[in-house]
Amino acid sequence: MIELIKSTPRIPQVVIVDTKEEIFDILKINISESTKEYISSLLQEEGIYILFQGRSIPESSVDVYSSFLSEIQELFNQKKSVNLLFYLEYLNTFTMKFLATLLNKSCKEYRNIGGTVHAFWLHDENDEDSMFTYDDLKAVCEVMKDAIPLSLNEVEPKTSEEILI
């Protein structure tokens, strides 16, 4: 696991992992085995997985997100498939615009050299706010237009002891 951005109350965690299993270890929620299997079946086997998780309300989105742009572009040159997974509670307007610009530019360049990008929007089953955010991001971000929204049904928060283990 490579942590590109460490989570704070205002900034989401952004990590890169090599296997599907690592994604579920990083998510700070419990997911049923059937949901894990379903999500795993949709992810591309070969490639990398980039997970965005948390809230994004930084004072300067440019400072937060531009710092890892070069690392993501370097990873794009190494792999043929990239899976972007978003489990975001909230995005402010500045983050949404900057993230859309960043993803549009990076993914377009990557697709032009033959790479494939798959996006997934993870959300809690009854979280309407998350789905509104997803719809807003789809409206301004090309890669999100083909994103697959995935409900994390049977979600139970992990206890603080489980998170520390």
Is the pLDDT at 45 greater than 60, yes or no?
Answer: yes
Q: H helices of the chain, where?
A: 20-26, 33-42, 61-65, 69-78, 93-112, 128-140, 160-164
Q: Mean pLDDT over residues 143-153, rounded?
A: 83
Question: What is the structure's pLDDT at 79?
Answer: 67
Is the pLDDT at 162 greater than 80, yes or no?
Answer: no
pLDDT tens digits, residue range 113-134?
888 888 899 888 888 888 888 8
Indicate the pTM of the whole model.
0.82
Task: Report percent pLDDT > 90 for the chain.
Answer: 1
Residue type, 164: L
More reliable by pLDDT, 30 or 143: 143
- The domain locations on the chain are 2-164
